[in-house]
Amino acid sequence: MNLIARKEVPEEETWNLTDIFPSDLEWESAYLAAEQELDEILTVMISLSSSLDILNFLRKYDNLMERLERITSYCFFKYSEDESDPLNQKMMGRSQLLSGKGNKVSTKLVNGLIAIPKEDMAKYVDEEKDLQIFERFLQRVDETRQHSLSPDIEETLASLGQTLHSPESIYLTVTSSDLKFELVKDMNGNNVPVSLHMYMTQIETSPDTILRRNAYQSLKKGLKGYQHGLAKTLSNEISKHVSLSKLRGFPSALDMHLQFSPASNNFYSTDGITTEFFEQVLDTFQEGLSPHMQRYARLRKSQLGLNTLHFSDVKAPLDPDFDPPISYKEAGEIITEAVGVLGAEYQNEMRKAFLDRWVYRGDNIGRRMIAFGGGVHGVHGYSFYPWGGNLFDMLLLSHELGHTIHYSLSAKNQRIINNAQSMLFVESPSTLVEHLVVDYLREHRNEPRLNRWLNMYLMMSYHHNCVTHVLEAELLRRLYKMAENKEPLTTSVISETKGAILSKFWGDTVEIDDGAKLTWMRQPHYYMGLYPFTYSVGISAATIIAQRIKSEGRAVGEQWTNVLKKGGSMRGLELYKMANLDMSNSDVIKQTISYVGTIVDELEKSF
């Protein structure tokens, strides 16, 4: 079946963007008003000479950033629907220009606040109690003091924001609009279209070995055609951060990613964690999970009757005939019921996501490659997930909706400039919802075959979050260290390094070929700092919280919802502590790895 055009997607499969702006004309009016205000701020001196001056400007800035998020989100969502549409491209380009001006204003404000001595700022906060409303924002500004550059250099970097983000933009453009894959045949001789999203969400987990392997070869051929250009793009991204880390006086780029959040970064907030913590997480997962995943690989090879387990087979279902379809409506009902253990407020937000069309689920030409969940401050959450129609889709959609409801709850309870989400925490709300849906199905459908499938799904989830993403982070760790040692990051270096990481993890259980070595081309995570490793931390926390909800009841879930409302007002480790989790050491991670081992035990026995 060929993909349809955006205009052919039924309205019920699209999200309701009129909640952000009733029309493009309303967006245009808001755009021009915000642009004028940004330009005015950029042409005058910001007065921050008194506590009242600071308070008044922070109020103005907070309001402006909320309006700016509406404007840029509207463009991004339309662009995500169809990145090949010229109008969407134009709007997105204008949005990026406006964001650039917003970043310049942020930089100008932060420069002004940093120029105020810490002692004077503390005095201002004592004088004007309303400044405490912006405590988290002011705290984040203070955290940048040591590594901030002179105002003119910071403003220059802000003006180069679009250029500095060009590696990510180029990657996203190539993978969504330029990269094409050949049609392949399935086991029945039917033609099947291949895309990165379809491969990772549908084909890779298909019971059809012929389809999986044909699609893998199509994927490999398509990626090879762009490997040198995208290797240079990734190399430039890493070199950029190595240079910036030196400019800011960090020991390494890894330290900068983990400890520094510039003024222009208004979405994820670093948590001040150490490189040692980051590396401990990577080492613990790779050493602890590898034996369990190799056991699971041997079981898969045996169960599927394969002479060789290719990389295209590592997510193949062990029970190929069990793939029950599910409607979007029923999936919504199950997800909404499953999150009831998190309290009425959380459940009501989830219900709105389905009733009020917060989700774009069309699978059309030009749509964004990667699913996501987020939202718009002052509006509500939004999710993007092309819907395939099976249990696997329901669980992946539940993950994105976990992000969506987290954003919605935090935005309702936090001001936007305080709400830069903790990078270390942000994947725990999403993976918890997956676990809750699994637990709900176990409880309400006493079917041995389904229970076994759910175990296989959990293994897929741990594979994705604790193997795929950890090994992405491992590649980043190695590439950054190579770059800092002035080793050229050529195509062969990147691919061979990826291959070595995969070979060490899988041992002799999986054949690592050229296609496996090119998996660094599949994900945009390499352009998001060290973000990939946070999935493993998040799912570990979610694993333990889900177990506590089962054993201790709804009170644990309602407390979790209260934590979500804190949004970016606290650091990640503080949020976990509020949920009675100590994530500062490896104990929770080791408990999670042990739990994965018990799932493999159960699957071995079940077959």
The share of the chain scoring above pLDDT 70, in percent, equals 99
Could you tell me if 301 and 459 are in contact, meaning their C-beta atoms sit under 8 angstroms apart?
no
Strand partners, 269: 422
Task: Please say whether the dihedral angle defined by the alpha carbons of residues 344, 430, 389 and 385, taken in this order, is positive or negative.
Answer: positive
Q: 23 φ, ψ to 5°?
A: -160, 170
- The pLDDT score that the predictor gives to residue 324 is 85
pLDDT at 1 over 60: no
Q: In terms of DSSP bridges, do strands 359-360 and 372-376 run parallel, antiparallel, or are they unpaired?
A: unpaired
* pLDDT band at residue 367 under the 50/70/90 scheme: confident
Highest mean predicted confidence (pLDDT) among 108-112, 166-170, 406-410: 406-410
Residues 6+ apart with CB under 8 A from 69: 376, 377, 378, 416
pLDDT tens digits along 372-405: 999 999 999 999 998 989 898 999 999 999 999 9
d(Cα 34, Cα 40) in Å, to the nearest integer?
Answer: 10
H helix count then E strand count, the chain: 25, 7
* pLDDT band at residue 173 under the 50/70/90 scheme: confident
pLDDT at 307 over 70: yes
602 DSSP 8-state letter? H
d(Cα 513, Cα 438) in Å, to the nearest integer?
Answer: 34
d(Cα 299, Cα 187) in Å, to the nearest integer?
Answer: 23
pLDDT at 267 over 70: no
Statement: 180-225 belongs to CATH 1.10.287.830 = yes
d(Cα 607, Cα 464) in Å, to the nearest integer?
Answer: 23
- The pLDDT score that the predictor gives to residue 446 is 86
At the fourth CATH level, which superfamily is domain 6-164? Answer: Oligopeptidase f, N-terminal domain (1.20.140.70)
pLDDT at 264 over 70: no
pLDDT at 65 over 60: yes
* pLDDT band at residue 2 under the 50/70/90 scheme: low
- The pLDDT score that the predictor gives to residue 450 is 95
pLDDT at 158 over 90: no
Token readout for 128 is 């004007």
Task: Please say whether the dihedral angle defined by the alpha carbons of residues 225, 231, 232 and 236, taken in this order, is positive or negative.
Answer: positive
* pLDDT band at residue 263 under the 50/70/90 scheme: low
Torsion angle defined by CA atoms of residues 240, 246, 251 and 257, in that order, rounded to the nearest 10 degrees: -40
Helix (H, G, I), strand (E, B) or coil at 380: strand
Task: Work out the average pLDDT over 357-386.
Answer: 93
- The pLDDT score that the predictor gives to residue 566 is 97
pLDDT tens digits along 178-202: 899 999 999 999 999 998 878 887 8
Helix (H, G, I), strand (E, B) or coil at 269: strand
In the chain, where does the domain assigned CATH 1.20.140.70 lie?
Answer: 6-164
Candidates 527, 554, 537; CA nearest to 429 is 537
d(Cα 449, Cα 4) in Å, to the nearest integer?
Answer: 35
- The pLDDT score that the predictor gives to residue 268 is 60
pLDDT at 48 over 70: yes
- The pLDDT score that the predictor gives to residue 266 is 53
Candidates 534, 529, 465, 475; CA nearest to 254 is 529
pTM for this prediction: 0.91
Q: At what angle do helices 135-143 and 86-114 cross, to 10 degrees?
A: 80
Token readout for 75 is 């463009």
pLDDT tens digits along 211-252: 999 999 999 999 999 999 999 999 999 999 999 999 999 999
Amino acid in position 515: G
Q: 206 φ, ψ to 5°?
A: -75, 145
Angle at 252 between CA 246 and CA 255, to 5 degrees: 115
pLDDT at 576 over 80: yes
pLDDT tens digits along 450-497: 999 999 999 999 999 999 999 999 999 999 999 999 999 999 999 999
d(Cα 402, Cα 502) in Å, to the nearest integer?
Answer: 30
User: 51-65 burial, b for 16+ CB within 10 Å, e for fewer?
Assistant: beebbebbeebbebb
Helix (H, G, I), strand (E, B) or coil at 390: strand
In the chain, where does the domain assigned CATH 1.10.287.830 lie?
Answer: 180-225
Angle at 379 between CA 97 and CA 113, to 5 degrees: 55
- The pLDDT score that the predictor gives to residue 274 is 93
d(Cα 607, Cα 539) in Å, to the nearest integer?
Answer: 27
Mean pLDDT of the chain: 94
